[in-house]
């Protein structure tokens, strides 16, 4: 076990995969300088400019090159800096990477990992603070991952690179400095959730940074005698239906929490599935359908805090 940040864990995962397979390459803006979050620190000095490749400022070109590299036999890690910028290259993801294996009868595969930092980043305003996991969950042909801890950012990134399919890999911008223990021998299974806390009164499902707010809420609720079962979904698609349904069958109540806008968020898919299958009481909690403001007082309106989660849980159980 080693203590490291979320960013250091990712850089270590990439280094281990690049050591193990010469076909793993990194492409993106500023990756040679370590990336804006330090997620590629020292990798270009170690592996050279032919494998850690700085690109022009063109997301469409970066993603298009990544798709071509993957079809030619490489395993590219494509850096988008923040998810908002990926919108400039959506055609390459939606119509090329996601559909190639299907359209050509499995003759072509796109083993590409696209890193898209998501979420509210302090005072970064409407164009740099979005969470689009539900967009990509709606897209057949891609895997969608949202690691919440340094351990998961290490293990899940390695699993993503080994999967052989296009992976939308979403790391929350404010988690880069989060410190935790990382076991480099620990592996991750894509599509498998993790139960962080057992309880009998309420099932609480979340992912990414919001998991940490849920941990705080669970501690507050426990003081009032409310025992919450907390599930870190980790993988948005495929998602761990079995773990969530089993927990909901036990508790009879489900609260899904995410930072993304609540309207049409992925929480709706989970809530509907549980309602149809288990028939328990369900509730969603996400951001209002507004752009994230620049001013702190406006930005705060888009945040889902521990106090909001506690209030929603109490309302669901009342």
The per-residue pLDDT for 205 is 99
Which pLDDT score is estimated for 50?
Answer: 97
| 201 shares its domain with 312 | yes
Indicate if 209 and 70 belong to the same structural domain.
Answer: no
- What is the pLDDT at residue 280? 96
**Residue 174 sits in the same domain as residue 221:** no
- Specify the 3-state DSSP secondary structure of 317: helix
Residue 185 is predicted with a pLDDT of: 97
Residues 6+ apart with CB under 8 A from 46: 15
Instruction: Identify the pLDDT of residue 187.
Output: 96
pLDDT of residue 34: 97
- The residue ranges of the chain whose pLDDT is under 70 are none
Beta strands 143-145; 167-169: pairing state? parallel
Residue 245 and residue 140 share a domain: no
Q: Which of 135, 152, 182 finishes a domain?
A: 182
Which of 224, 151, 203 has the alpha carbon at shortest distance from 3?
151
Segment 260-270, tens digit of pLDDT: 999 999 999 99
pLDDT value at position 186? 96
List the domain range (segments joined by +) for residue 292: 194-317
- Residue 294: per-residue pLDDT: 97
Is 187 inside any structural domain?
A: no
Residue 201 annotated in active site:
no
Domain tally, the chain: 2
Identify the pLDDT of residue 154.
98
CB 31 within 8 A of CB 52: yes
Among the options 128, 172, 253, 258, which is catalytic?
128
- And the tokens for 281? 């009481």
Residues 74 and 42 in one domain: yes
The pLDDT of residue 311 is 98
CA nearest to 195, candidates 232, 149, 150, 234: 232
- Give, in degrees to the nearest 5, the angle at Cα 210 between 229 and 262: 100
Same-domain pairing of 160 and 219: no
CATH no. for residue 22?
A: 3.40.50.970
């Amino acid at each position: 076990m080693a203590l490291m940040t979320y960013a250091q864990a990712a850089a270590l995962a990439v280094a281990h995969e690049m050591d193990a397979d010469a076909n793993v390459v990194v492409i993106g803006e500023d990756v040679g300088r370590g990336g804006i979050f330090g997620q590629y620190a020292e990798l270009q000095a170690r592996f050279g400019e032919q494998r850690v490749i700085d690109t022009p400022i063109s997301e469409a070109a970066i993603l298009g090159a990544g798709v071509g590299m993957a079809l030619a036999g490489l395993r590219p890690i494509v850096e988008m800096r923040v998810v908002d910028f990926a919108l400039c290259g959506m055609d390459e993801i939606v119509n090329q990477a996601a559909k190639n294996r299907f359209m050509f009868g499995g003759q072509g595969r796109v083993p590409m990992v696209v890193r898209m930092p998501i979420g509210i980043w302090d005072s970064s305003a409407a164009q740099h603070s979005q969470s689009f996991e539900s967009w990509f969950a709606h897209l057949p042909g891609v895997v969608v991952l949202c690691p919440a801890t340094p351990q998961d950012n290490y293990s899940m990134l390695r699993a993503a690179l080994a999967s052989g399919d296009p992976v939308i890999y979403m790391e929350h911008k404010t988690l880069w400095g989060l410190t935790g223990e990382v076991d480099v021998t620990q592996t991750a299974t894509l599509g498998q959730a993790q139960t962080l806390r057992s309880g009998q009164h309420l099932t609480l499902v979340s992912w990414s940074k919001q998991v940490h707010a849920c941990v705080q809420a669970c501690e507050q609720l426990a003081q009032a005698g409310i025992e919450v079962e907390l599930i870190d979904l980790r993988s948005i698609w495929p998602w761990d239906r079995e773990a969530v349904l089993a927990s909901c069958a036990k508790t009879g109540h489900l609260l899904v929490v995410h930072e993304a806008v609540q309207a049409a968020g992925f929480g709706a898919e989970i809530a509907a599935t549980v309602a149809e299958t288990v028939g328990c009481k369900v509730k969603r909690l996400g951001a209002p359908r507004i752009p994230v403001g620049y001013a702190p007082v406006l930005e705060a309106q888009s945040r889902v805090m521990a106090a909001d989660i506690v209030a929603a849980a109490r309302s669901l159980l009342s």
